Amino acid sequence: MARPPRPLISIDAIVTAALELIDESGDFSLPKVAKKIGVSQSSLYNHVSGREEILELVRGRITSDSPPPPPGMPWDEVLRVEIREYRESFARHPRAAPLMVMQTVRNVRVIAFYERLSDALEEAGFKGKDVASALALIDSFAIGAALDLAAPGNAWEVESGGSALGRAVESIAGMPDRAGTAFEFGLEILIEGLRRRAAGL
């Protein structure tokens, strides 16, 4: 007896199609997702409520599933580990980054990530609105760093050596991992800035 045909549509297939469209063009729509899967748009609503739910599912898909830092790790090390993972998640799909800031985070896995950041920030000495501000700072830094991975190796077209900017551009010419070097530089400044701010609270 022949096996019944495998259904074309599932939540996993919807998320995969949406993410492929985002990687290709920077966005997705329900009609395009349906076309990519090979089903009618109306059939998508048997599995998802709409664009917002798909975007949250995409957010969960691209977020790293690495295990959380072990208990007892110092707050600054927790931030280093988590922010590096955050950047790597978006580095695999940099065109998804702008879409992620357009709606409220609801995905359980992603909320757990922000909980770990918040716990580390409280351990450092931050409370309430300062934790929220620090989370926004981390978001801006990590997403910006992920977008930098898609930037050209030479982001500034200037004559080398003729100015401070020119000398800076000359110094990174041919650097194998310019974006990674810049990220680590910024990460240490961010954490040191948080440390100094917390010391004054």
Q: Are residue 42 and residue 98 in the same domain, yes or no?
A: no
Count of domains in the chain? 2
Q: Is residue 49 part of a domain?
A: yes
Say which residue, 65 or 109, is predicted with more confidence: 109
Q: pLDDT per residue over 13-66, tens digit each?
A: 999 999 999 999 999 999 999 999 999 999 999 999 999 999 999 999 998 777
User: Please, which pLDDT band fits residue 94 given cuts at 50, 70 and 90?
Assistant: confident
- Average pLDDT score over the chain: 90
Q: pLDDT per residue over 157-176, tens digit each?
A: 887 667 999 888 888 888 88
Taking alpha carbons only, the member of 136, 104, 141, 101 closest to residue 118 is 136
Q: Are residue 186 and residue 116 in the same domain, yes or no?
A: yes
Whichever domain contains 54, its CATH number is 1.10.10.60
- DSSP annotation of 156 reads -
Q: Are residue 53 and residue 94 in the same domain, yes or no?
A: no
pLDDT for residue 200:
85
User: Please, which pLDDT band fits residue 4 given cuts at 50, 70 and 90?
Assistant: very low
Q: Are residue 42 and residue 140 in the same domain, yes or no?
A: no
- DSSP annotation of 7 reads P
Q: Is residue 41 part of a domain?
A: yes
Q: Is residue 1 part of a domain?
A: no
From CA 159, how far away is CA 133, in angstroms rounded? 38
| Cβ contact 37:9 at 8 Å | yes
Q: Are residue 77 and residue 111 in the same domain, yes or no?
A: yes
Q: Are residue 39 and residue 134 in the same domain, yes or no?
A: no
Q: Is residue 5 part of a domain?
A: no
Domain region containing 161: 66-199
What's this model's pTM, rounded to 2 decimal places? Answer: 0.84
Last residue of a domain, one of 60, 82, 98: 60
Whichever domain contains 142, its CATH number is 1.10.357.10
Q: How many CB atoms lie within 10 A of CB 139?
A: 18
Alpha helices, DSSP H only, in 95-163?
A: 97-100, 108-124, 128-148
pLDDT tops 90 at residue 102: no
Q: What is the chain's length?
A: 201
Q: Is residue 21 part of a domain?
A: yes
Taking CB atoms within 8 Å and a gap of at least 24, the contacts of 145-151 are 145/87, 145/179, 145/182, 145/183, 145/186, 146/87, 146/89, 146/90, 146/91, 146/94, 146/97, 147/90, 147/94, 147/97, 148/179, 148/182, 148/183, 149/91, 149/94, 149/179, 150/94, 150/95, 151/179
From CA 34, how far away is CA 19, in angstroms rounded? 13
Q: Are residue 93 and residue 129 in the same domain, yes or no?
A: yes
Q: Are residue 145 and residue 49 in the same domain, yes or no?
A: no
Q: Is residue 4 part of a domain?
A: no
